[in-house]
Structure 1
Amino acid sequence: MSGTDPRRQAQAAQARRVFTEALVRGIAATGAALHEAAAQLLLQPAEYALSVARRDGVALWQRRGVVWLSMLRDAVRTAATQGVPEHVTVSGSASLSLVDDDTIERQITASRLALAMMDKATWEFTDLRTRMLLLEGHEELAPNDLVRAQALARLVLDCWYASGLTPTEWQLFLLTLNEEMSHLLLEAYHETNHWLMQQGVLPEVDLRPYIRRTADSRQASAVPDASQDPAFAPTTLYARGLGGADGPPGHGHGAASAGHQGQAAGFARTGQGQALGASAPAQGVVKSAVRTSAEQVMAQLQRVLNRQVPGMSAAMAPAMNAPTQPMPADPRGDRAGPATLTGRLHAAINHAQEMLRHRAQPSLASAPGAPTSGGLAGGAPSTGSPVREIPVPQQIEELKARNLAVKQVLKQAADTPAERATIEVVALLFQSILTEERIPASVRVWFARLQMPVLRVAIGEPDFFATTDHPARRLIDRMGACVMGFNTSSGGDVSEAVEREIKRVVQVVEAYPDTGRRVFQTVLTEFEKFLAHYFEQENSASIKGVSLAQQVEQRETLAIQYTIELRKMLNEVPVQDGVRDFLFQTWADVLAVTAVRAGAQAEVTKQMKRAAADLIWSATAKVSREERAEVIRRLPPLLKVLREGMGHAGLSAQRQDEQIRALNNSLAAAFTAKSASIPPERLEELMSQLETLEAMLPDTADGELDETLMRDLSSHESEDLEVVAEGGAPPSAAMVAWAQELQVGSWYMLDYRGRNEPVQLAWRGLRHQLTLFVSPKGRGVLFQQSRLAAFLQAGLLLPAQDEALTVKATRNALAKIDADPDRLLN
């Protein structure tokens, strides 16, 4: 049946009524929970000023809360048929539109409420949306559809302000509001889905028929032209607004990030489409939209070169057939390639390189103790006596002019059209890099000196034009990402250590002109090692944050491994479920904390292991009077140790009380249990296993850290380290892929806890499950992988660069070639 079938339309209308009535019924329960929260607030001790603020806020809630609940019920019923307008007028009241700043703040608050609701209701929403689209015959729900969390959140906020309540009261009840509204929406989704299933509407939801593949999810042979396809043109890709289906609206981050707000949406939307499209067997591994867009640019460059340059197609065939595979190495260590430098061209490149080298600032290699590359024999040779220093801006202008002159000289020395085209494209790439204003001029001078070494590689290895993974490209992109931050916002220049390392890298590459890919790969590896050491040991803003993040990872890794081994040990032991949960979810973390702080063989660690054994024995069935008396005798000192251990792990007194109450219930149940108790010899065996638990743990060097087993990391938060424990809906597979691709040293704009500030990626843990960002002021923010992907998807974490430095340069080169195709051969 079609989507306009009257029976299906009637079912859809009835489903919306079910959803609306479920919301209306739940509003009363939400009001009751808020009244209870208000009463509890008055009972909590606080400083005088805070106590007065709470009392005033509760008093206003008691007067206006009933009005808000009534307005919200009426507004929900109206919006069920008319949708949620941008500005709502309820019960004849004045328009709820406010001044610009207040409106933006309200949008931000509504977006955060929507994110909190969708954290719990994502899967129910996905099922309901799928069923409603089938019944109503639409491609997507309207943006103001009440079924969307974003629309409902906006309605809740509008009614809140219209009732006379203020942002102060909202913040006062924030946690309760988030919890209750999440529960309200989840129950409404669940009830509506249940009713539709009873009507026989998609009892088993299969999302595959609803996947809308974009152009980038087709076979590689049908990849569209990157310069023509609007899905990959930056001016359209980045202008689609922030957020996905229920993502937050965009809001300014200041001048430094104004150009990036639309980018997150383009990545999110294209990334989601890519993830769905890639689920087909022929598509293979899921790719992020960033990588897909870059590959589109490279594919377009190949097509242009093959179309315009005679003989270029044969030279590039190996790279086009397998763009991600490196060419085989010959026995001498150089890279084999389909083309080699001719004598005249080789001499011309050498001459151009020397000219560029001597026109730059005095080389570090001429100074005593200049660093050398550990991966290659010897170091960079000295360039002789220091030359006269030229002001950096003047050097840049000279380099631009010499770029044009050198290009013509090299083309005259070239013997084939393919060589002339390669020279032109490489010159265009570096012309773009030299004009990139976000790279400090002093660093651009050193980037310019890579032009001749890159030209050698491009002539000898055509896969330089076929893949973004070529080490020469990756080196330039990695160094560029470290220096292309939000400089105007951070108020800081490139660190002296980073600039010094860039200089060293360039000199090493210049010192080995005939080594090709091998020298680029060597210095790329060294540069990445330098970054790891720099953020751990040299960068004052990140040293403390990286140390704390490493401790968090060590603790979490141990806790996961302790949990796995405890599960194995207790697999066939008759222990109360409450005790099992305590051991797996709480005590494993206590053991990890104790082992990290005191050492695996410390007395306090052994004490915590003995407590685990005593707890296991106490929780098994006790059938004799003597055993029960023994449990009662052991219980007080055992509970004391348990409290001490939980205190070491950072559990609050309230959480400790909850855990002790649950354990008491489990131990009481053991007195009446009918199952067999643990034999003494089995208990001794368990104790022996606990004492040698570290010997059974797998080696952490393999990087096994499963994020699904990781606990709530918020307990690790401190003055110097913030842990992102909330925010963002479950990310798509493409967003997770994008999160995996982020590189140490890159800059981003982070919107978190009311702050919009530039941050730099300073550390990535094992298998990239944990990622640390640091602000210029030293504030560390730690993400788990899924939460990082969620922030990227919601536009709360925006990259400083729309795309990699060499990809952007390739786009600019393609635009100039398109305007003048003959320049490739002339």
Structure 2
Amino acid sequence: MFAPAPLSSQRDLARQVRQQFVKTLAAGLVDVDQAVFTFLTSLMDQTGTQREMQGRRDAWQLYGQRRADWVQATRRVWEQAQNQPPVSARATTPAPLDLSLELISDDVVENKIVASRIALTVLEAVSGSFDALRRRVQMLEGQELVASDLLRPETFCLLLVEQWVAAGLSRTDLQAVLDPLQRELAARAQVAYQLCNDFLGSQGVAQPETQLRVSRPPVGGGSNAGAGSRMGELGSSGALPAGTLASQRAGLPSGAMDSGPGAALRSVMAGAASLVGATPLARARERAYGVMGQLRRLMWPGGMAQGVPMMPQTAAQSMVMGAPMSGLQSITGAPGSVMADAAAMQQAPPASAALAQALAQQQIQAQTYYSSMAGMAPQAGPVAVVQLVGAVRERAAELKKQAGTDSEKAIIEVVALMFQSILSEDRIPPAVRVLFARLQVPVLRVALAEPDFFSDLNHPARVLIDRMGACVMGFDATAIDGSALEGEIRRVVQVIEQYPETGRKVFQLVREEFEAFLAKFLTQKKSTARVVTVAQQVEQRETLTIQYTIELRTLLKDMPVRDEIRDFLFKIWAEVLALSAVRAGAQHPDTLALKRMAADLVWAAGAKPHRSDRSKVIQSLPGLLDRLRQGLALVNMADNAQEAQIKVLTDVLAQAFVSKTEPIAHGQIEILARGLENLEDCITEAVLGDMPLDAEAIEMMLGIDMSNLSVIADNDAPVEDPVVEWARQLQVGAWFTIDHNGSAAQVQYVWHSQRQQLHLFAAPDGRSYLLQLRRLAAYLQTGLLTLQDEEGLTVRAARDALAKLDANPERLLQ
């Protein structure tokens, strides 16, 4: 700790803090330098191609020559930056980006991008200490830290990167050593922030400290009481030690699960989990409910109903690792009905008056702040993300000052931590992360008004963020910037901002609108639209073929028809009628003529004991054969196959001339004709089973080269029914990795047919994969198709928030 020195003013004290911060951080550069050099040295011991090994040796040699220059230059610019006087800044909002129009070199932009990555990692590690120091310095200077203040991680990281390049070191080599560099820099920064906080504390610049107290449910006597007492050992102050947060969330000793209500609950959970644990989707959902359960018990520890046990510590820990919380939840898709604390959360008191007013003010300030970023060049996105992470933290700190209850403080903190995690997701393009940041206050309003936001995976606000995040994770910044998808996300965010009081309803409305947009956007490419059109026709044709066959069997059930005619109508002509109905329409004259041909064929193939009937057959035969050839050509039957089929039919017609059986009555033929003409009126929703999918037929229907389309048809591979149901539940827009014929590719799920028998995936390079339902399920079952974001953006954010609260529980109520 520093020795306190006499200071003339609070601003002098703040200046001394900056000096000591730079002194400590600069001293830590020795450790950063050594970590980088050690890492480069270890790289040379790794095997690789000759080119890779030579590149590693060159990087090690160059760094050895320039490392001293880099360290000295970085120290020098840090010392110069600490002496820059602060400019006026608003106390409640971060300084806006400099939006003056000027040409920016590629080197400047690339430096900012690399620096932003380092700063995000540093900020994640030091967020608590930095926030404490920021608030203390703000108290001393009467204003917020400006964007260029050296106390901000993004500032000293950018100077460090700039001096790396100025020292003649390669930016490519910097990318290679980012992990050890940012890890060691974060450790040194944490020391510097903590020393500065200790110094200010010794000078009487105190920061209000709120101890996190435990509210635990009543426990009975015996072993339960003893365990509950042990969990409540918090010392005289009642503060919760950092290592006991998981125990506080557990709330019940493990022995209570061995008998009584605990045993019954365990039995239900185990049985239900066995029903739904067959797929990764079910397991991911179980883990998600585990995280949500921890959040409930963290913020509402007294919300458990009398007589319903809470989860033991071991179960709470295992939920994080993937053990199911309640199998019933995965079946019903609803928040845990076995957890009675959900009922205690349904009627949340309204936000306190001071907090409600602060939310309204923050909403206005946030809109102004983000509007100032609208003209920002896309290249500045990563830099903006770093500032946004800080803005989320600062906004939460200001709101917690106005919170009237511990519950409000806890909700504000958890929402802020979740948004910090979302903004740190590298797979989301920076432009979209900037838009997500604008949802912090609207989501906080919903979370305060509807605590089930933390427990219901189907809450509209959660679903909307998950869906938007999942859709953009496969795009790079250049692909998303200025796209229609970015524009739609921007529109969605603006609508939510315009109706802050609507809460759940506005999130539900825009989610439905986003889903409708997504269905069109993902299939708007010309090549994709053509494949979708043909694939939809394929399913419609196969569906109608099956249903027409069923109805033809019904119509011909009591009629004396030769087997050859039955087989032809069921196996060939039903497909002809279905394809004509798909292409031209069920009541199109061409389709009606083909339907009439079926009735004419049945009549012509019947016994003809009368001369007049034989004469009619002879007169109608040329037209009958023409329509037969027309229909067979429609289904692309080859000429030789057509002639063979027609020969079979004409032989049947010839035999009918000498048949001695009773002829088919004209009344029956008319009933058949009317039934065929209105065939669709009899069709019900039949279950479409496995249908043939012919790649050559699809290529012919497309009329284009199919080198970029892989048709993956069913092949009778064994697949479990739960996995087939999982395949039906895949959400359009999600990104997957597919391994087809030994080649892996990143693909987006862009479309499924009306009856979900056909599913289309598209890769960024223009290649597409069309899979049938059961083959899709087989790919999922064997891991040939894997979801890139199985858990979901908000669940992962909640998990990250819990991890931070485990490490630093006191921050929850500060």
TM bracket, shorter-chain basis: 0.5 to 0.7
Corresponding position of 1:397: 386
**Aligned residue runs from structure 1 range 784-799, under 5 A:** 784-799=772-787
1:414 aligns with 2:396: no
Report if the CA contact (8 A) 1:531-1:745 is conserved: yes
Which of the numbers 428, 434, 437 marks the counterpart of 1:439? 428
Report if the CA contact (8 A) 1:771-1:782 is conserved: yes
Per the TM alignment, residue 446 of structure 1 is displaced from its structure 2 partner at its CA by 0.3
Corresponding position of 1:423: 412
2:404 aligned counterpart, secondary structure: coil
Report if the CA contact (8 A) 2:496-2:507 is conserved: yes
Which of the numbers 757, 765, 770 marks the counterpart of 1:782? 770
Report if the CA contact (8 A) 1:728-1:790 is conserved: no
Corresponding position of 1:533: 520
1:770 aligns with 2:758: yes
2:750 aligned counterpart, secondary structure: strand
Per the TM alignment, residue 455 of structure 1 is displaced from its structure 2 partner at its CA by 1.4
Report if the CA contact (8 A) 2:295-2:454 is conserved: no
Which of the numbers 353, 371, 389 marks the counterpart of 1:343? 353
Corresponding position of 2:502: 515
Corresponding position of 1:168: none
Per the TM alignment, residue 308 of structure 1 is displaced from its structure 2 partner at its CA by 6.5
CA distance change for structure 1 residues 795 and 667 in 2, over 3 Å: closer, same or farther? farther
Corresponding position of 2:749: 761
Per the TM alignment, residue 454 of structure 1 is displaced from its structure 2 partner at its CA by 1.2
Report if the CA contact (8 A) 1:295-1:468 is conserved: no
Deviations, residues 325-353 of structure 1 (Å, cap 9, x unaligned) = 599xxxxxxx9742322112222223333
Which of the numbers 590, 594, 599 marks the counterpart of 1:604? 590
**Aligned residue runs from structure 1 range 258-657, under 5 A:** 288-303=279-294, 305-306=296-297, 309-313=300-304, 324=333, 337-362=347-372, 391-485=380-474, 487=476, 492-493=479-480, 496-536=483-523, 538-540=524-526, 542-620=528-606, 638-653=624-639, 656=642
CA distance change for structure 1 residues 396 and 567 in 2, over 3 Å: closer, same or farther? same
**Aligned residue runs from structure 1 range 601-750, under 5 A:** 601-620=587-606, 638-653=624-639, 656=642, 659-660=645-646, 663=649, 676-697=662-683, 704=685, 706-708=687-689, 710-712=691-693, 714=695, 715-717=697-699, 718=702, 719=704, 722-727=710-715, 729-750=717-738
Report if the CA contact (8 A) 2:296-2:454 is conserved: no
**Higher CA-based Rg:** 2
Instruction: Find the aligned partners of 2:562 and 2:744 in 1 and give their Cα distance.
Output: 48
Instruction: Find the aligned partners of 1:509 and 1:635 in 2 and give their Cα distance.
Output: 69
Instruction: Find the aligned partners of 1:763 and 1:398 in 2 and give their Cα distance.
Output: 37
Deviations, residues 579-633 of structure 1 (Å, cap 9, x unaligned) = 3333233212211222333333443223211221122234445677987787677
1:531 aligned counterpart, secondary structure: helix
1:573 aligned counterpart, secondary structure: coil
Corresponding position of 2:231: none
1:600 aligned counterpart, secondary structure: coil
CA distance change for structure 1 residues 789 and 358 in 2, over 3 Å: closer, same or farther? same
Instruction: Find the aligned partners of 1:822 and 1:314 in 2 and give their Cα distance.
Output: 26
Instruction: Find the aligned partners of 1:567 and 1:435 in 2 and give their Cα distance.
Output: 62
Corresponding position of 1:266: none
Report if the CA contact (8 A) 1:361-1:387 is conserved: no
Instruction: Find the aligned partners of 1:723 and 1:290 in 2 and give their Cα distance.
Output: 25
Instruction: Find the aligned partners of 2:492 and 2:349 in 1 and give their Cα distance.
Output: 26
Per the TM alignment, residue 753 of structure 1 is displaced from its structure 2 partner at its CA by 5.7
Which of the numbers 793, 796, 803 marks the counterpart of 1:815? 803
Per the TM alignment, residue 502 of structure 1 is displaced from its structure 2 partner at its CA by 0.3
Q: TM-score, normalised by structure 2?
A: 0.56
Residue identity opposite 2:430 in structure 1: A
Instruction: Find the aligned partners of 1:578 and 1:281 in 2 and give their Cα distance.
Output: 53
Deviations, residues 274-325 of structure 1 (Å, cap 9, x unaligned) = xxx99989987898431432232223332354156544547999x9998955
2:689 aligned counterpart, secondary structure: helix
Per the TM alignment, residue 520 of structure 1 is displaced from its structure 2 partner at its CA by 0.5
Corresponding position of 2:139: none
Sequence identity (%): 44
**Aligned residue runs from structure 1 range 9-408, under 5 A:** 288-303=279-294, 305-306=296-297, 309-313=300-304, 324=333, 337-362=347-372, 391-408=380-397
1:300 aligned counterpart, secondary structure: helix
1:513 aligned counterpart, secondary structure: coil
CA distance change for structure 1 residues 822 and 529 in 2, over 3 Å: closer, same or farther? same
Instruction: Find the aligned partners of 1:471 and 1:796 in 2 and give their Cα distance.
Output: 31
Instruction: Find the aligned partners of 2:614 and 2:787 in 1 and give their Cα distance.
Output: 62
Report if the CA contact (8 A) 1:464-1:470 is conserved: yes
Report if the CA contact (8 A) 1:707-1:784 is conserved: no
Matched residues, number? 516
Instruction: Find the aligned partners of 1:672 and 1:278 in 2 and give their Cα distance.
Output: 74
Per the TM alignment, residue 644 of structure 1 is displaced from its structure 2 partner at its CA by 2.3
Q: TM-score, normalised by structure 1?
A: 0.55
Instruction: Find the aligned partners of 2:726 and 2:541 in 1 and give their Cα distance.
Output: 26
Instruction: Find the aligned partners of 1:508 and 1:544 in 2 and give their Cα distance.
Output: 33
Residue identity opposite 2:762 in structure 1: V
Instruction: Find the aligned partners of 2:296 and 2:494 in 1 and give their Cα distance.
Output: 31
2:786 aligned counterpart, secondary structure: strand
Structure 1: gaps spanning 5 or more residues: 1-226, 229-276, 328-334, 365-385, 699-703
CA distance change for structure 1 residues 548 and 780 in 2, over 3 Å: closer, same or farther? farther
CA distance change for structure 1 residues 340 and 723 in 2, over 3 Å: closer, same or farther? same
1:730 aligned counterpart, secondary structure: coil
Instruction: Find the aligned partners of 2:384 and 2:272 in 1 and give their Cα distance.
Output: 53
- Is 306-315 or 686-695 further displaced after alignment? 306-315
